[in-house]
Amino acid sequence: QQQVKQSPQSLIVQKGGISIINCAYENTAFDYFPWYQQFPGKGPALLIAIRPDVSEKKEGRFTISFNKSAKQFSLHIMDSQPGDSATYFCAARYSSASKIIFGSGTRLSIRP
């Protein structure tokens, strides 16, 4: 049972374009939604995170859009650069727990 569903599995975007990765969740008890970025051979690292009481959070070229009623959230990367090529994981945390559930990941490739 996949509690956090992520799509697409892989994505190719031209340099300068917008990369969009989508996630959906079922459990309304989730209260924290981070995105992690992982480069080959490295561990994941926190990129940006949002709480369900806001609909959007922006940090530089990275934006999370959050739709609480639809139980969906997405990562937008504006002006995508080759250095953004990595695997991206969405995740969700239970309000009463100390662990988070990860999506299956999206391998993003930015073509120069």
Partner 1 sequence: NAGVTQTPKFRILKIGQSMTLQCTQDMNHNYMYWYRQDPGMGLKLIYYSVGAGITDKGEVPNGYNVSRSTTEDFPLRLELAAPSQTSVYFCASSHGTPPYNEQFFGPGTRLTVL
Q: Does 104 bind partner 1 (CB under 8 A)?
A: yes
CB of 39 or CB of 68, closer to partner 1? 39
Helix (H) / strand (E) containing 106: strand 106-111
| Contact string 9-38 vs partner 1 (x = CB under 8 A) | x----------------------x-x-x--
Helix/strand/coil (H, E, C) string of 37-68? Answer: EECCCCCCEEEEEECCCCCEEEECCEEEEEEC
Q: Does 96 bind partner 1 (CB under 8 A)?
A: no
* 36-65 positions binding partner 1, by CB under 8 A: 36, 41-46, 49
How many Å apart are CA 31 and CA 93, to the nearest integer?
Answer: 6
